[in-house]
Amino acid sequence: MSEFVITTFDWVPETPRGYVRDIRLRWALEEAGLAYRVESTPFNNRQKEHFLRQPFGQVPWLSDGDVFIFESGAILLYLAERSTALMPHEPLGRNKVIEWLFAGLNSVEMATVPWSFFMFSDDHEATPGRKILDNFLQSRLHHMEQELAEREWLADDFSVADIVMVDALRLVDRFNGLEQHSASRAYIARATARPAFAKAHADQLAFYAAADSKLNL
Amino acid sequence: MSEFVITTFDWVPETPRGYVRDIRLRWALEEAGLAYRVESTPFNNRQKEHFLRQPFGQVPWLSDGDVFIFESGAILLYLAERSTALMPHEPLGRNKVIEWLFAGLNSVEMATVPWSFFMFSDDHEATPGRKILDNFLQSRLHHMEQELAEREWLADDFSVADIVMVDALRLVDRFNGLEQHSASRAYIARATARPAFAKAHADQLAFYAAADSKLNL
């Protein structure tokens, strides 16, 4: 019997709460109905033990007995191979989920996260490189809008690909970057209305609220 | 018997030559000794048929009989599942390659490609968002340097994870961004010295040189 353990930061500032990447794992595990628990690693003063598990000093990582995996994309694929609630296991359906999983991480999130650096710092200066980055994001959002206007989920059914894509698009929506993209907003709304997302999100917020209490913040 | 077909652009400007992402597929197929051929889709005036195969209007995509896959990360994983020259097939070795494959695409390339937008446009203005992006890249490069100082390849043997990581780091090296990262430069050097890379790179350059000739450029 597997015992899945998610390791995330013991505390984070307000800004990333609700967006720390452990939410992707919590969401997937809730969708699959797989038991798991959550452990923590210090946010401040990251030690050698942390880098042994996650080479960039980030979170989350997953353990499954004596198997340890880092990178949320890799972890989602690992979980998806263990539950048809996250990915069909026949080859064609599996391929479709995997291509969209990579698309979320490498075609969409590669635009959304760097763009968010400028938004978080209220930086709106249209320098030449910034224009390329903004156009890159707008092109990705435009094509995603067309895809999402046509269907409910990226593959035939809800999958780990949607977990990643929705989480990437939520970051754009946070800065009102989807005002002209109604299909994308509707997609986020129907995904985040799922009980598994609601529980994952609430649990992450509660986890950090409890961390504040311990610190008497 | 599989017949792998890579589809790439029929022509590209000088700047991306040697870096178009079909190189990752060519390289993998050469490493695995799998037969393939290369077809093309118009770079200018991208048509509906293109978007049906690649939703963002990018390249490459792969066909294997009547299976079509987009996203170079997904394609590399698909090929890796068909050749132990690209990934071991026992679970622990496979996990290690997959986590590093995602790390290359989502932790490293998410920094390198947006940073390259600023470098390609000779944009060195240190706006607040730009500082975050630069620090993000430097942090990733610092941690990669520590990883690469310790070993030859990311997993136990050369794998698709190295194909992605080397290609992401080559883009930084192109702008002399690895001057303080000797282990990373040595890693690129030993990877690109492999006959499979040399052939993939030469073939891509020859493909676009032939495209110029047809256009009488």
pLDDT tens figures, B140-159: 999 999 999 999 999 999 99
Indicate the average pLDDT of chain B.
Answer: 97
Angle, nearest 10°, between helix axes A160-174 and A91-102?
20
- Angstroms from A213 CA to nearest CA on chain B: 30
Q: Cβ contacts of residue B189 below 8 Å, gap of 6+?
A: none
pLDDT tens figures, A146-191: 999 999 999 999 999 999 999 999 999 999 999 999 999 999 999 9
- Collect all residues of chain B within an 8 Å Cβ-Cβ radius of residue A164: none
Q: How confident is the model at residue A1 (pLDDT cuts 50, 70, 90)?
A: low
Task: Read off the tokens for A49.
Answer: 């033990």
pLDDT tens figures, B166-213: 999 999 999 999 999 999 999 999 999 999 999 999 999 999 999 999
pLDDT tens figures, A82-100: 999 999 999 999 999 999 9
| Confidence at residue A216, expressed as pLDDT on a 0 to 100 scale | 75
Cα torsion angle, A67, A69, A73, A74, sign: negative
Percent with pLDDT over 90 in chain B: 96
| Confidence at residue A215, expressed as pLDDT on a 0 to 100 scale | 81
Compute the average pLDDT of residues B63-73: 97
- Angstroms from B146 CA to nearest CA on chain A: 9
| Confidence at residue A173, expressed as pLDDT on a 0 to 100 scale | 98
Residue A209, CB-side half-sphere exposure with 13 Å CA sphere: 7
Residue A55 contacts B, CB cutoff 8 Å: yes
pLDDT tens figures, A43-84: 999 999 999 999 999 999 999 999 999 999 999 999 999 999
Compute the average pLDDT of residues A14-26: 98
Percent with pLDDT over 70 in chain B: 99
Q: Which of A128, A139, A140 sits opposite B121 (nearest CB)?
A: A128
| Confidence at residue B1, expressed as pLDDT on a 0 to 100 scale | 58
Residue A205 contacts B, CB cutoff 8 Å: no
- Collect all residues of chain B within an 8 Å Cβ-Cβ radius of residue A56: 103, 107, 139-140, 143
Residue B15 contacts A, CB cutoff 8 Å: no
Regarding an ipTM greater than 0.95, the answer is: yes
Domains of chain A: residue spans and CATH: 4-85+196-214 (3.40.30.10), 91-194 (1.20.1050.10)
| Confidence at residue B151, expressed as pLDDT on a 0 to 100 scale | 95
| Cross-chain Cβ contact B136/A114 below 8 Å | yes
| Confidence at residue B186, expressed as pLDDT on a 0 to 100 scale | 98
Residue A78 contacts B, CB cutoff 8 Å: yes
d(CA A147, CA A151): 7
Q: Which of B56, B77, B102 sits opposite A140 (nearest CB)?
A: B56
